[in-house]
Structures are given as structure tokens and as C-alpha cells.
């Protein structure tokens, strides 16, 4: 019992505060990015932030960050309201990106980020195809564009930005 008390008393509160501060910056970015009203800019920023968050503050915080951008995107109009049925799938795509990246990035950043980007793209694209051919058939072309290659492009561009940033701050 005494060992547990000693371990608790040895918590480095500076590290905890630093992690909370970093996480709050990521939350701010996740809220702000959709206001650019451009899928390529917003998607690149969000994907970079997700990669960086996994490395710097951990997967738990990154999971939380997966929720914010899609919800803000519907509010800002970046994601048209008729595409609201895509929100859970975009969130799940972000979670897939975070899970796969977290599993492999410690061995090699690119071994984590490229498969994570591909998996996110495939997941969102497949579900976008299903929605476009069923529930959202009237707006299929807009949905298919948003759920197709831009998902892969923004994830890979986000990986490049995250890699550069993480090299600069010497986290990888």
C-alpha cells in the first residue's frame, strides 16, 4: 500500500500540465480548422493534428479529437447539412486513422501514417458509396467527391505536415 502512495506522490505535475496544455491546443485547432471552409485545408490540418496528437499527448486524447471537427464542420457549413448522415462515418474514419497510426508509428512514422491514411480513405469511400447509392441518391455527386480521393490526399498531406512538425520538436 505504501508503494502506491509513493507512486502517486511522485507524479510529475509539470508533465501532466504540459499534456493538458497541448491537448487544449489540439482542441482549439479542431474547433478552428473547419472555419477555413475548404475541405483540403481543413482536412490536412485535422489529419496532421490527429497524427501529432497521437505522438504528443496519446491515443486517449486523439480519440476525443476525432469527434470535434466533423461536428464543427456541419455547423460552419463546410459539410452541408444534407451530408449529416456521413458524420459518424467520418468520425469512425478518424478513429481508424488514429488506431492504425498508433499501432505502427513507433517503428516508423511512414509505416504508421500511410496505412492509416489508406484505411481511413477506404472506409469513408466505401460507406460514402453505400450512402450515395441509397439514402442520399439525390446528392450523390457532391458526397462522392467529398468522400473519395480528397480523404486520401488530405490524410497524406496531414502526415507530411505532422512528420515535419514532429521532427522539428524532436518527438520522432
Lowest mean pLDDT among 5-9, 12-16, 53-57: 5-9
When the pLDDT of each residue in the chain is averaged and rounded to a whole number, the result is 88
Query: How many whole angstroms separate alpha carbon 103 and alpha carbon 91?
Result: 18
Region label for 118, one of left (φ > 0), alpha (ψ between -120 and 50) or beta (otherwise):
alpha
Q: pLDDT tens digit string along 102-135?
A: 999 999 999 999 999 999 999 999 988 887 777 6
Q: What is the third-level CATH fold of 2-168?
A: Arp2/3 complex 21 kDa subunit ARPC3 (1.10.1760)
10-53 pLDDT per residue, tens: 778 888 898 999 999 999 999 999 999 898 999 999 999 999 99
Cα–Cα distance measured from residue 116 to residue 98, given in angstroms and rounded to the nearest whole number:
7
Return the domain boundaries, the chain: 2-168
HEC-encoded secondary structure of the chain: CHHHHHHHHCCCHHHHHHHHHHHHHHHHHHHHHHHHCCHHHHHHHHHHHHHHHHHHCCHHHHHHHHHHHHHHHHHHCCCCHHHHHHHHHHHHHHHHHHHHHHHHCCCCHHHHHHHHHHHHHHHHHHHHHHHHHCCCHHHHHHHHHHCCHHHHHHHHHHHHHHHHHHHHCCCC
pTM: 0.88
State the pLDDT confidence band at 148, using cuts at 50, 70 and 90.
Answer: confident
Q: Is the pLDDT of residue 146 over 80?
A: no
Amino acid at each position: 500500500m505504501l508503494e502506491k502512495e509513493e507512486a502517486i506522490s511522485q507524479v510529475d505535475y509539470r508533465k501532466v500540465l504540459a499534456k493538458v496544455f497541448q491537448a487544449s491546443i489540439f482542441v482549439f485547432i479542431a474547433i478552428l480548422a473547419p472555419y477555413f471552409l475548404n475541405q483540403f485545408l481543413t482536412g490536412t490540418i485535422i489529419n496532421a493534428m490527429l497524427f501529432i496528437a497521437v505522438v504528443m499527448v496519446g491515443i486517449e486524447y486523439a480519440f476525443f479529437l476525432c469527434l470535434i471537427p466533423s461536428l464543427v464542420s456541419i455547423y460552419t457549413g463546410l459539410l452541408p447539412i444534407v451530408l449529416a448522415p456521413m458524420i459518424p462515418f467520418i468520425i469512425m474514419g478518424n478513429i481508424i486513422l488514429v488506431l492504425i497510426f498508433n499501432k505502427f508509428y513507433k517503428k516508423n512514422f511512414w509505416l504508421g501514417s500511410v496505412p492509416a491514411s489508406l484505411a481511413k480513405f477506404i472506409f469513408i469511400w466505401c460507406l460514402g458509396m453505400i450512402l450515395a447509392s441509397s439514402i442520399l441518391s439525390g446528392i450523390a455527386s457532391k458526397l462522392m467527391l467529398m468522400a473519395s480521393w480528397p480523404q486520401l490526399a488530405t490524410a497524406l498531406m496531414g502526415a507530411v505536415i505532422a512528420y515535419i512538425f514532429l521532427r522539428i520538436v524532436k518527438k520522432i
